[in-house]
Structures are given as C-alpha cells and as structure tokens.
Structure 1
Amino acid sequence: MSRIANADPEDAPTVLLVDNNEMTLMRLKEIFRQRDFHVIECNDGDKAVDEYILHNPELVILALDIPTLDGHLAALEMREHGGDSRIIFSSPRRLTELSTQAMYSAGAVAVVEKPITKSVIDDIWDAVLGPIPEAPGLEDMDKLYPDDELQIGEIETESQLPPLPLPLLPALPVGEIVVVSNNPKPKKKKIKYFFLLIVLSGIGFLTSVYFGLVPI
C-alpha cells in the first residue's frame, strides 16, 4: 500500500517514506510536509522499490524491519536501479548496529533511531545534503539470494534428468520351476464307462453260472 501527500511534485522535492508502523509514517509525513516535500508512503519493501523506480525521489527514509523485502535489500535494489536519491535508514535501538552495517553496505547517508523527531532530522540534514556514498553491498547481492538460486537450480536440474528406467522383475528362485505335462489327463466320462463295463460283465458271468451255462 502507498499514499501520496498533498504537494506539487514539479515544484517540491519528493521523499519516499517506507515503514509498516502507521505512527512513524504519520510523524515523518508531518516533519517533511513542514519542509515542503512531496510525500509518498508505503509499508513494505517490494512496493518501496516499485515506488522508487516510478517516482525517482530525492530522499528515502527506509525502515530496516519491513515485510516482503527487508530495508537493506530494498535499498540495494534502489541503488542498483540508479538515481541520485539519498537513503536514510530508520530502526529501533535494538537494530541500530544492523542499520549501521546496512548503511555502509547500501551507501546510505545516515541512520536515525526511532522514535524520529524533527530535531533528529535537523541534526542529520547536513549529511543528507552531502555526497552520496558508494554502495559496496551491490557486489554481494547474488550472495544475498542463495535460497532463490538454489531453488531455480533444482528445478532446472530436475527438468533435464532422463526418464527413470522401469524396475527389473525379480528372477524366479530355483525349485519353483513349473513343468507342464503334454499328456492330457483322462476324462472322467471314459473312467465311468470302464467301470460300467466291468459291472455288466460281472452280472453276465453270475447269470451264466446261475443257469448252469458256465460249469464251475
């Protein structure tokens, strides 16, 4: 989210205020409106870089602990884009050391501690109007995104892999070889006829003996 305060950007310098604390934004907006600045506000790092590219402000007040893209990386992306903007980091006291390191890395002109007052801005104004320092952190920007590069590399590697071969079927163990006989089994009907023939022959023999046709 971003907001633009009332001022004529053609006649007034522009300041980009980046913080996710509404009270801080309100206080900074009042300070710079008194200095006749055209004020643009936003509350996350990605949006801040977009607004910087769109409006090319003369001054950026950038919180270190902001969502989507922290202040240090946002400042480096602004410096990489170019322009003559002065960058000031703002942070609570617990992050002062990190803010100072980010200031030297991104070539910022100053660090201010929250809560920010008009007198704090007055005290650093000479540094704001001075030369813009170099940004040595630009040389290390690739090292600041190792996770993204690793993820892209993994995706490309997976897409180039050949298809996996089908798994080989296991060999049959010895002793389980099945032998199929070529001799067909006798049919049940033939067995029945054979037994019937024996029974009939026995009956005929007994009948002959009974009538004396066959001597015993």
Structure 2
Amino acid sequence: MARIMITDDAAFMRMMLKTLLSEGGHEVVAEASNGQEAIDFYDIHSPDVVTMDITMPVMEGIAAVRAIKEKHPDAKIVMCSAMGQKEMVMEAIQAGAKGFIVKPFEKDKVLSEIAQLV
C-alpha cells in the first residue's frame, strides 16, 4: 500500500483516480488542484507517490515536478496525460517523473504503474 497525492485541476479526474487507487489498496493522503498546491502539499503530507496532471492553471505539472524534485530528489512522481501529449510526457520524464498514466484511466494500468514505484 502506498500513500498517494493526486494532482489534477479537474475534480472529476481526481475523484476517478482516488476511487481506482483506493480500490487497489492505496491511501490517498492529499489532493491538489494545481502544481503550486502539489508543491505545498508534498511538504505537508510526504506522500510515497504523486500523480501529476500536465496541463493545469496557476502552475503546470512539469514545472511542479521540477520544483518538487529540486527539494525532494527521491520523490516518485507519475504524470497523467491525455493521448497525444507524448512530447510533454518526455519533457516530464527528463524533469524527473518516473512514469506516466494515460487518460482515460484504466484501473489495471494505473495500479501497475504505481506498483512499479513502491
């Protein structure tokens, strides 16, 4: 079981991911709606894994990955992206993300990606 923080600007996506992760035996310890919240909440909650959307207001996901990894080099972050964002996913991996999950979420793929990190 991992302690996970979900970061997505869409409440519906956070709810879907929270349900999938909870059903998979994981604990969702925080939900952030933008990259800045993710940075702030990481310091408070120290999650085992962070799921990070790419496109968000205030601060987008790749900038948030860089900021979190700068302060917490061992942070495990998985990007969540829609189809067709391959270049952005590659940029996120270069920034320090450990993998990615494609939207719409498929339970087995989400849980498999998390399992590889914990």
Fold shared, TM-score > 0.5 on shorter chain = yes
* 2:5 alignment partner, SS class: strand
User: How big is the shift at 1:47?
Assistant: 0.8
Tell me which structure has the larger Cα radius of gyration: 1
Partner of residue 124, structure 1: 113
Paired residues of 1:53 and 1:81 also in contact (CA < 8 A):
no
Q: Which of 68, 71, 75 is the aligned partner of 2:58?
A: 68
The structure-2 alpha-carbon separation of the partners of 1:29 and 1:126, relative to structure 1 and needing over 3 Å to count, comes to closer
TM-score, normalised to structure 2, is 0.88
Partner of residue 109, structure 1: 98
User: How big is the shift at 1:79?
Assistant: 0.6
In structure 2, what is the Cα distance between the partners aligned to 1:108 and 1:88? 6
Q: Which of 6, 26, 33 is the aligned partner of 2:22?
A: 33
In structure 1, what is the Cα distance between the partners aligned to 2:25 and 2:85? 30
Q: How large is the Cα RMSD of the aligned pairs?
A: 1.7
In structure 2, what is the Cα distance between the partners aligned to 1:125 and 1:45? 20
Partner of residue 201, structure 1: none
TM-score, normalised to structure 1, is 0.50
User: How big is the shift at 1:36?
Assistant: 3.0
Identity level (%):
24
Moved over 2 A (4+): 35-38, 122-129
How many residue pairs were aligned? 117
Gaps of 5+ in 2: none
User: How big is the shift at 1:112?
Assistant: 1.4
Higher strand share: 2
* 2:9 alignment partner, SS class: coil
What letter corresponds to residue 56 of structure 1 in structure 2? S
Partner of residue 2, structure 2: 13
* 1:94 alignment partner, SS class: coil
Q: Comparing 65-74 with 31-40, which one deviates more in the overlay? A: 31-40
